[in-house]
Amino acid sequence: MKFRPLHDRVLLRRVEQDEKTKGGIIIPDTAKEKPMEGEIVAVGSGLRDETGKVVPLDVKAGDRVLFSKWSGTEVTIDGEDLLVMKEADIMGVLAA
């Protein structure tokens, strides 16, 4: 893939949730919500501060993160549905 997000933006892939509940009930596609968990595919270089110095992002490619429900812009790159969003829309990194 030849895509690099600019500045404080990240490219991420949604991580699909289980299709069953803990009680064994199968959730149909029409009732599912889009997952708010994803894996970072690529990150931008960072924002510039007041002095012009580039401040790198706190996330890196491969991190699993939680993000705001309605954040990001859906894009299709190489036939894969991905999201581009600002780092500020990411709520946190999930521990491995």
Q: Check pLDDT > 90 for residue 85.
A: yes
Q: In degrees rounded to 5, what are phi and psi of residue 41?
A: -100, -40
Q: Indicate which CATH number applies to the domain containing 77.
A: 2.30.33.40
Q: Is residue 46 part of a domain?
A: yes
- Pairwise CA distance, residues 16 & 63, whole Å: 15
Q: Is residue 95 part of a domain?
A: no
Q: Is residue 69 part of a domain?
A: yes
Q: How many domains does the chain have?
A: 1
The partner residues of 12 in beta bridges, in order of sequence, read 40, 83
Q: Is residue 40 part of a domain?
A: yes
Residue 21 is predicted with a pLDDT of 52
Residue 28 is predicted with a pLDDT of 59
Q: Is residue 24 part of a domain?
A: no
Q: Is residue 23 part of a domain?
A: no
What is the pTM (predicted TM-score) of this model?
0.74
pLDDT digits (tens, 9 = 90+) for 2-31: 888 898 899 999 887 655 555 666 665 554
- Pairwise CA distance, residues 25 & 73, whole Å: 31
Q: Check pLDDT > 70 for residue 33.
A: no
Q: Is 96 exposed, middle or buried (0-12, 13-18, 19+ CB in 10 A)?
A: exposed
Min mean pLDDT across 45-49, 61-65, 78-82, 92-96 is at 92-96
Q: Is residue 29 part of a domain?
A: no
pLDDT digits (tens, 9 = 90+) for 36-77: 889 999 999 888 888 989 899 889 999 999 988 888 889 998
